[in-house]
Amino acid sequence: MSGLHPSKPFPEAARDKVNQPQLRANLRKVTHTIREKRLRAVGELPHWEELRLLGEATKDASLANLSDRLLQLEASVKARGGQVHWARDAAEAREIVVRIAQAHQVDELIKVKSITSDEIELNATLQERGIHAIETDLAELIVQLSHDTPSHILVPAIHRNRAEIQALFNRELPGEGGLSDSPAELAGAARRYLRHKFLTTKMAVSGVNFAVAETGTVCVVESEGNGRMCLTLPEVLVSIMGIEKVLERWEDLSVFMELLPRSSTAERMNPYTSFWSGVTPGDGPQEFHLILLDNGRTEVLADATGRQTLRCIRCSACLNVCPVYERTGGHAYGSVYPGPIGAILTPQLLGMQDKNANTLPGASSLCGACFDACPVRINIPQVLIYLRGEVTAEKGVTAEALAMKTVGYAMSSGWRFEGALKLARVGQGPLVKGGEITSLPGLLGGWTQSRDLKTLPPQSFREWWKERERDSE
């Protein structure tokens, strides 16, 4: 399972993906369908913009006093019989889960979709310690059985088609073999397999969508009901949450119960929303652990511009409207957080020194569709531009930096710019063929692979204006 660390720079990974026609077609179809449905669902609410502002303000208020909120959450969870663990990084979080599993001597556990557990690469560590983690979300299960990684935060198997799933289930699911490719039949096979696991497994690991500090309530939002099974049937429940998921009050949830389903699956209401607080004797898991994961988040919080990233409620609306995601798919981003949110979250969590992650802020044409779609108004383009600044500052003097300085110098006054234009008109000579430039040298060569470049005209605007002024005198 890949965690946060991209193994390649984005432009390279994207090149591999962009040239796969089947993948492009799958992605285009799905993203466009969800996009249109979302617009309809959002259009139904006349006060959508006010709701977004409220979502933004609610998350910001919680983030402004995050340490207080977390301490309050810890106290209320404990008061209700739960146990709270603080994990500074991925390794600490993994160890906590392993320790709990070992204390109960389990060699198998069930999971309900949790990107946070993928972020810390939990499954691989559990496997090493002889504990098998079973994904119970249908798409996550598909990804797991095919030894693949998710490529979308809500539709993890968006890149797979039905025929692939049919072959996979026939091969991997015990007792199956003759399944047709009918969705009902495939879902039925998964249900048989999962039902058995729900009823026989002692321990579950879940993610967290929201946690309420004042009441100690934890919340998971999902569409298949697998979450409800994981959260109620096992004896031991471990929930892992990024520290930014905490809200102050119970009422705060209401705004997200409207924003989240409409933004993510274009539904008016979410199908399965589970809340639980601590432990209730004789009902549900008798042991509950909440792991509060930092893993770089405090650093993000400390950054005035980058902080807004922590408002994210992982609805995936930004992925579905992003023209870059649509052409590359999630794997190109090399992290469990793909798309526009991944392009800002991953490099911030890892730091700008990560030489692959620091190409992610460049993975955008800055078209702004993500900001318009984001239910908590994260100004993703603004953060992308800001992070590009952080990356170049980290890199120091490069050929690009020198080129930028040179252009900056030429632009430092009107007459210098005019001089530079005159030089460029001479300089372009050797490149011009048939009135256009069809191939540029060096770094700029990628541009002319699929586009011709117009040549500089003989007269610039400023030269024309000068002439006009002269003539009118």
Q: Which residues bind ligand SF4 (CB under 6 A)?
A: 263, 312-318, 341, 373-376, 378
**Cβ 284 to other proteins, closest distance in Å?**
46
d(CA 375, CA 44): 15
Q: Could you tell me if residue 219 is left (phi over 0), alpha (psi between -120 and 50 degrees) or otherwise beta?
A: beta
**Cβ 212 to other proteins, closest distance in Å?**
33
HSE of 241, CA atoms in CB hemisphere, 13 A: 25
- CA 454-459-462 angle, 5° bins: 115
Residues 259 and 375 sit within 8 Å (Cβ to Cβ): yes
- Cα–chain-centroid distance for residue 398? 30
Task: Of 170, 144, 169, give the one whose Cα is nearest residue 157.
Answer: 144
Residue 250 vs residues 51, 217, 220: alpha-carbon distances, Å = 17, 8, 14
d(CA 121, CA 124): 6
Q: Is 365 in the site for other proteins (CB under 8 A)?
A: yes
Q: Is 459 in the site for other proteins (CB under 8 A)?
A: yes
Strands 210-212 and 217-222: antiparallel
Which range of residues in 18-26, 83-91, 137-145, 269-277 is near other proteins by CB under 8 A? 18-26
Of the residues 14, 54, 101, 300, which one makes contact with other proteins according to CB under 8 A: 14
- Cα–chain-centroid distance for residue 111? 19
**Cβ 265 to ligand SF4, closest distance in Å?**
12
| Residue 460 binding target from ligand SF4, other proteins, none, CB below 5 to 8 Å by type | other proteins
Q: Is 105 in the site for other proteins (CB under 8 A)?
A: no
d(CA 275, CA 33): 30
Q: Is 353 in the site for other proteins (CB under 8 A)?
A: no
**Cβ 254 to other proteins, closest distance in Å?**
29
Site string for other proteins, 290-329 (x = CB under 8 A): ---------------x-----------------xx--xx-
Of the residues 130, 177, 427, 446, which one makes contact with other proteins according to CB under 8 A: 446
Applying CB under 8 A, the site for other proteins has a residue count of: 70
| Residue 464 binding target from other proteins, ligand SF4, none, CB below 5 to 8 Å by type | other proteins
- How many residues are given for the chain? 473
Strands 453-454 and 436-437: antiparallel
d(CA 332, CA 339): 9
Q: Is 362 in the site for other proteins (CB under 8 A)?
A: yes
Residue linked to tokens 């992070």: 387
Site string for other proteins, 22-61 (x = CB under 8 A): --x-------------------------------------
| Residue 130 binding target from ligand SF4, other proteins, none, CB below 5 to 8 Å by type | none
Kindly tell me which of 93 and 310 has the beta carbon lying closer to ligand SF4.
Answer: 310
| Residue 45 binding target from other proteins, ligand SF4, none, CB below 5 to 8 Å by type | none
Output the six-digit token pair for 373: 């779609």
| Residue 22 binding target from other proteins, ligand SF4, none, CB below 5 to 8 Å by type | none
In DSSP notation, 356-381 reads TGGGGGGS-----HHHHH-TT---HH
**Cβ 399 to other proteins, closest distance in Å?**
13
Q: Is 271 in the site for other proteins (CB under 8 A)?
A: no
Q: Is 80 in the site for other proteins (CB under 8 A)?
A: no
d(CA 100, CA 104): 7
Element (H or E) spanning 317, and its range?
helix 317-321
Residues within the interface to other proteins (CB under 8 A): 10-11, 14-15, 18-19, 24, 305, 323-324, 327-328, 361-369, 371-372, 382, 385-386, 388-393, 400-401, 404-405, 407-408, 410-417, 421, 424, 436, 438, 443-444, 446-447, 449-454, 456-457, 459-466
